[in-house]
Structure 1
């Protein structure tokens, strides 16, 4: 199994500018929205995977594209720390803000930084391992389809655990390409 996986850091949020870590689940800044828009125009394969499929939008809005990117929300991709700025909103609030994206499918209490979502290294390493395993499973499902690329959008510190690349330090809306490979130590991402 060898598949290309792109790790993307989220676009600029308000706490990235204000350095106020007490903000719960901060939104994007105007620059963050610009970065996200620019990413859909400059990212490799953007027409195929950088824009969400029409199914996620109402028919009137005209947003999304035919055979666009499929969105999978994965609570394991949340940031490592238990600071409010790194803690997600409760599912009902997210569902109201982002109807149609499948937020209701997130497990109860996913945003609570305890148990499997705790901020400690061991819990985060285990989450990263689960994500790599799910990405490998997704890669296997896609091998017979035209869709060959997987994009993982996550946070700066969690990205270090997921990629096992302690030196990765992407700017907001930055990305890096990896190859997903199976090794004796498990599923790994190797830099291109």
Structure 2
């Protein structure tokens, strides 16, 4: 079975441009938006009509990257009315996954409360409303502690497997999964992966015994 997972690293954030990790929930820089749009053009050229699901970190720059890069994949409901962006019929729904947020508790990697995200992304009320209430506090399930991160890896891979199973039975043949996340999470999932900002690499999701891995 085809179980492709495209790991996307968000485009350039303002904290990257300024080398300033104190910027809260750092958004994309202007160049970051340009990089995200270029990423989308390259991705569609190589993977036209193959994406069946998209999982995204709820940090601002990851959401912005997804919306800027994938208007030819995501449903039109993700964008302002009459914007001309998004797929009107059969578009993919963007799913926010707090396990995909960056690991550290630096200000740039701490997410925004739901009310702030809703102000910036009003079309995504259902997705934002579905997030756990304390997802951005870097405690408990989302603590930077090594044991918590190890459990996040297991949850992410299991979720990818479950989504892949659903896509395998879909009649439209779109079986690929896009994951928009951060360098820290990419390296947790695939320790030797090198994915520049605003770029992606494609892996295959497999079961090795009882373990789920990306290769």
For 2:147, the equivalent position in structure 1 comes to: 122
Please, what is the CA RMSD of the aligned residues? 1.5
1:133 is aligned to 158
* Post-superposition offset of 1:144: 2.3
Equivalent residue, structure 2, for 1:78: 101
Matched with 1:172 is 197
Q: Which of the two has greater helix per residue?
A: 2
Aligned partners of 1:13, 1:46: CA distance in 2, in Å? 27
CA distance in 1, matches of 2:92, 2:6: 13
Indicate the residue corresponding to 2:63 in structure 1: none
Gaps of 5+ in 2: 52-69
How far apart are 1:21 and its partner, in Å?
A: 0.7
- Pair 1:15–1:138, CA change in 2 (3 A): same
Give the gaps of 5 or more residues in structure 1: none
1:155 is the counterpart of 2:189: no
**Normalising by the residue count of structure 2, what TM-score does the alignment of the two structures yield?**
0.82
Query: Shift of the alpha carbon at 1:59?
Result: 3.3
Worse-superposed segment, 51-60 or 147-156: 51-60
2:75 corresponds to: 53
Q: 1:35 matched to which residue of 2?
A: 35
What does 1:21-32 correspond to in 2, within 5 Å?
21-32=21-32
Greater mean deviation of Cα atoms: 11-20 or 61-70: 61-70
Per the alignment, residue 57 of structure 2 pairs with: none
